[in-house]
Amino acid sequence: MLRLHFPEGFLLFVFKKNETKGMAYLSRVQANLTYQFLQATETSFGADSSSLQEFEASLGHSYQCRNRTLTLAGDFRLHVLNEHVQAFELHDGKFGEAEVCQEQRRSILVPIIVFVIIAVLVIVVLVAYVVGRRRSHVGYETI
């Protein structure tokens, strides 16, 4: 459990450990904010989302992502920037190996597809060139 207090309210993060799957994840976020926004009729905002499975990482590893948005309730969203968390099994107070979020993982599939498309285009151009050169000589003889 991680509880952050500040003058305008608090944030509560609850992490769960699933020993059978060897995973840890954020399962609940509770937020309470008292603040007067311009042109807002309310000054108190709250949300409690207890059915989350976010920031998932293997036990002993940390979770890392640049930007994430968690929708806690209706229009209440939590924008998390440059997060790096590990709820369980910290060794010597240091993060374990980072598991990067899905949005940041680079897929090797895209470069392979681009390479194949370029290779096919090069082959088509070469075949068209060879066929074009042969056709220009057919039917005529040089004198």
- The answer to whether position 137 is within a domain reads no
- The answer to whether position 119 is within a domain reads no
Task: Classify residue 107 by its DSSP letter.
Answer: P
- The answer to whether position 126 is within a domain reads no
Q: How many domains does the chain divide into?
A: 1
- The answer to whether position 99 is within a domain reads yes
Write out the residue range of the structural domain in which residue 76 sits: 2-104
- The CATH number linked to 96 is 2.40.160.110
- The answer to whether position 77 is within a domain reads yes
- The answer to whether position 78 is within a domain reads yes
For CA atoms 26, 30, 35, 38, the dihedral sign is: positive
Mean pLDDT of the chain: 81
- The answer to whether position 129 is within a domain reads no
Q: How many CB atoms lie within 10 A of CB 128?
A: 10
Model pLDDT for residues 83-118, shown as the tens digit of each residue: 888 878 777 778 877 777 776 666 677 788 899 999
Model pLDDT for residues 7-17, shown as the tens digit of each residue: 888 988 898 88
Nearest to 12 by CA among 62, 102, 78: 78
pLDDT band at 66 (very low <50, low <70, confident <90, very high): confident
| Residue with the two structure tokens 């075949």 | 127
Nearest to 108 by CA among 98, 116, 119, 99: 116
